[in-house]
Structures are given as structure tokens and as C-alpha cells.
Structure 1
Amino acid sequence: MSKLSINRTTKLCMSLSARPGNFGTRFHNHLYEALGLDYVYKAFSTRDLEGAIHGIRALGIRGCAVSMPFKEACIPMLDSLDPSAEAIGSVNTIVNTVGHLHAYNTDYIAIVRLVAETPIDRDIPFLLTGSGGMAKAVASALRDNGFRNGTIVARNKTTGPALAEACGYRWASGLADAEAGMLINVTPVGMEGGPEVDDLAFPQAMIEAARVVVDAVALPSETPTIKAARVLGKRVVTGAEIQTVQAVEQFILYTGQTPTEEQIAAAAAFAQGKTAA
């Protein structure tokens, strides 16, 4: 399908975020064109969440990705939740089927898939830094896949203990001198454009002692933490991998089409700015 062939039958998909990015727009539109689908994807922000959700229903918008700060606030406005969203009380994907808004959490689905594909001992002790929406998805996915020996490290003395209790893990307000076999960063440390872009999410000694390092920061895909882990030969899971898997799940939910691995790789590279349009 040509990029210029938008017409009255074209299906619209969108995203809602306080700070819209380009990854989803580039990723989905690249795949629409590759598969010849009559769809278009556009990112939006809003100060009227209820009006936006009503608009999805009223205008027949097929799908909507949901980012912070709307992941929990939108739930009362929806018709039903998939177990992936219900399990953690957080939504990142809405599918509109003839006015019925059904919500998923494809971050959760992505972590479940990546864990299944990565050989990791379920008894490994892990540290997870962060207690926001993405941290809830990661912690819940680990809990539901047999990881029992975990610590949630979060400075927020409300959300940190609440997440730890909900998942059956310990809570700590700081890293101190802790060690763990798996380290998971779900904070903005290392994020492009942030004040801690050059910082490690964990002390070097902790990275040296770990076997697996996961960093949910997607931009850049090679954060300082991931780079340090690679140099040491650790098994790593990057935020770019997580972002791509969850976006593929959204694409399938919206279109009913499953792209090939080659098409996914090409779309991810394009979305990350690694190839020209």
C-alpha cells in the first residue's frame, strides 16, 4: 500500500501519551506498508482523557496504545480487560471492536515471551529498580512465571512496598550493597535526553556479580548498563527488544496479521532510526 493511499476506508490506530515518541508511529506504519494493509497510525497527546477514550469509540478508531500517565486512569472508561491487564491493573493497549473497548497490557505479554525464550533459572535472586507502570508489568510477569526470590528497589515509599507486596517480593529503598543474579532496571537511568543518560543503573560491582542484566530503557537500546554487561559477557535483554515485542503484539491485535521475523526486524530498525525511509 502506498503511503499516499489513505482513503475513507483506511483504519486508524493511534497512541495516547503525555510525551509522544516516534517509535510506534514508525514501526506500525512501516509494517502496514510492508504487508499492504489499509491502516495508518498516529501519535497523540491529550489533556482530556475521557474525551479521547469516547473519541476512540465514537470514531471507530481500531486500536490505541496507552502510555503514562494514562495506563491506570483509563481503566474505568473501558468495557473489559484481558487477563494481561487485569492482573496488574494497568493498560497499554486498547482494541475497539464495533464500539467495545477491550484492553491489554502487551508490556506484560512481552516480558512473558522474552522470559520464556531466555533460559533463566527461576530460583535466581533478582533486583528490580522502579515501581511505575512498566515495573508493575515486569514484576507481575516474573511472579506469574515462577520467579519467587525478588526485591523491588524503589525510593517511593508508597508504590514500592505496594508493588513488592502485590507480587510477594521484598522491598528496599536503595541498592546498598545488595547482590543478585539478575538485575532489572525499570527507571529512566540511562535514557536518552535524561539527566542520567551516562549513568549506570547499578554499581559496576553488582553488574560484575550478576548473570543476567535487563534494561527496560529503549532509547538508546545500548544503555551504559547494557554496554557494561556486554563487555563482561553477561546475558542481556534490552529495552529495544521489549519495545519491539510489545509493539508486535499490538500490531497483531489491531490487524489480525502476523509479520515475519524479517519484516519485524526491518520495522524495528526503521523505527529506531537505523535505516532510511
Structure 2
Amino acid sequence: MNERIDGHTILIGLMAYPIRHSMSPTMHNNAFAKLGLNYAYLAFEITNDNLPQAIDAIRTLDMRGSNISMPNKQKVIPLLDKLDPAAEMVGAVNTIVNDHGTLTGYVTDGTGFMQALKDENLDIIGEKMTLAGGGGAGTAIAIQAAIDGVKEISIFNRHDDLWENAKRNVDIINENTNCKATLHELEDQDDFKNEIQDCAIYCDSTGVGMKPLEDQSLVNDPSWFKKDMIVYDTVYAPRTTKLMNIAQDAGVKHVYNGLSMMLEQGAEAFKLWTNQEMPVEYIRDLLFSEE
């Protein structure tokens, strides 16, 4: 890092709170170094209260852009000049690109998910997806999958504070894409089972399976799964979740955690800033290789 930083170094940020735990600075700075790019990526603890000043700083300091995470993904939208169509549909931004003072917001979570499947030579275009979760990750996944050509999405959510957001997602998909989306109550276990057994891919975009819920899964019966389907858990810590164990017990052929999605959403942001491909496999081996 010391050898790369000079008077021409271009700054990229990460604005969220809390954020000191993030792996993104390590991921991006190692990718910059690998490619010999004169960029530096730093994390800034930014709340809704000081977000306007932070966004002004992107212009003032001529930063190339910034990642945005909670609690700022929605609050940042009025502060930007333009939105990518997917970000507008999702209603959230996780990446800002600064082009000579014009700030454009993007969302890369959904594209990261779809690319993670492509990395495994899996194609869900024209297929049916069952998705648990109507929050930020679930919203991006559902809308991007619909944009890309998934035929049908059954979204399951509890009647909690995310129910209305899940309902909005269904309306947006049905009004703006050729995908048919429906909203289902997660409390209806018979319906949940039937929709999982009728799909090509089941994706859990909730936090169930990660600390402090690492001993839990929304699906607890291996008989709900088919061997030829895809089971995808967006959680990547722990590396193998309870859902993944249950799917593997059922003999499911394609079972994945969210590691590739996390890497690929970062790679999409990296490309937006640098116009170069992130060395994803190098970063995967550097940060996440299992001993």
C-alpha cells in the first residue's frame, strides 16, 4: 500500500455504520494492488445524520465514488444526480460512481447473485425461483432476476416490518418485467413447501443461519428439496449454514453459500469505478481459502 499511495492516488470510500468489520477495504485494495491501479479504498463510519456532508465530500475531494451500506442505502438516493434503472426499481443504492461531479447510484447485489450462479455454470433464465426474504438483499435479487429473465418468483416473508416492502417488490416486478411475481406468507408452511418443490432454485436472503441464528433454518425437512434443484443461502459466515446441511442431506446437487455473491457484487462495483475486471479468483483465494 505504501508503495502505491502518491499524489495521484484516487480515493474510493465505503460509507455505513457500523462498518469497521467490513472485508471490502481488504478486498478492493488487494485487487487494486494486483492490477497496479493507483486507487485506495477506505471505510468511513457514516450515519444518516452526516450522510449529506459525506456525499458532498465525494464531489469536493473528487473521489471516484463510494460503496454505501446500511443504514444509508435508501437515504442516499435524494442526494444523487442519477440512478441506474435497477437501483431505481430496487429503491436502494450500494455503489456511487462520480463522473466529473455527477453522482450516479447503482445496486450491485442482484447482479452479484446472478453472476455467482453463472460462475457455477448454472442458468435460471426462464425458470421459477422461490425466494425467502423481502429485505435489501432479497429485493435486489428478486428484481435483478426478473430483469434478467427468470420466469416466475414466489416471494415469502413474514407479516413483519418487511411485508410492505416485499409487496412493493412484487408490484414492481409485475409492472416492469415479463416475470410473474407473487407474495406468500412465510407462516404458511404447506404453501412454502409446495413452492419450494415446484421451483428450480430456492434462495434464502434472510439473516437466518448467521450469528446469532446459526443453529436455525427456515427449512428443516430434507424432503422439501429435489436433488436436481439449486439451494442458495446468501449467508457466508458460517461457511456452511444449517440450510446448506439440510439440503446436502437431501442429496441436492447444487448447494451454495453467499460468498460468491459477496465477491461478485464487489467485482461489479470495481468495474464501475475502474472499467477493469476484478481478479475475483485471486481475491477469493487470498481472503476465503479454507485450510
Q: Distance in 1 between matches of 2:45 and 2:224?
A: 37
Indicate conservation of the 8 Å contact 2:68/2:94, yes or no.
yes
**TM-score, L = length of structure 2:** 0.83
SS, match of residue 272 in structure 2: helix
The match for 1:166 is 172
Change (3 A) 1:209 1:35: same
The match for 2:62 is 60
Q: Note the aligned Cα RMSD (angstroms).
A: 2.3
Change (3 A) 1:42 1:273: farther
**TM-score, L = length of structure 1:** 0.87
Aligned-pair distance for 1:176? Answer: 0.9
The match for 2:150 is 147
Q: Distance in 2 between matches of 1:227 and 1:44?
A: 36
Match of 1:202 among 203, 215, 219: 219
Q: Distance in 2 between matches of 1:140 and 1:243?
A: 17
The match for 2:26 is 26
Q: Distance in 2 between matches of 1:234 and 1:266?
A: 26
2:221 counterpart letter in structure 1: Q
Aligned-pair distance for 1:274? Answer: 5.2
Deviations 1:99-142 (A, max 9, x none): 11111111122234345541336243x32111112111111122
5+ residue gaps, structure 1: none
SS, match of residue 90 in structure 1: coil
Indicate conservation of the 8 Å contact 2:89/2:172, yes or no.
no
Deviations 1:12-41 (A, max 9, x none): 111112231332111101111111111111
Change (3 A) 1:258 1:149: closer
Q: Percent identity?
A: 29
1:237-252 mapped onto 2 (5 Å cutoff)? 237-252=256-271
Aligned pair count? Answer: 268
SS, match of residue 214 in structure 2: coil
The match for 1:51 is 53
Deviations 1:223-268 (A, max 9, x none): 2222332342331343111111111111111122224xxx321212
1:149 counterpart letter in structure 2: E
5+ residue gaps, structure 2: 175-180
SS, match of residue 158 in structure 1: helix
Q: Distance in 1 between matches of 2:17 and 2:99?
A: 25
The match for 1:69 is 71
1:94-105 mapped onto 2 (5 Å cutoff)? 94-105=96-107
Indicate conservation of the 8 Å contact 1:26/1:267, yes or no.
no
The match for 1:216 is 234
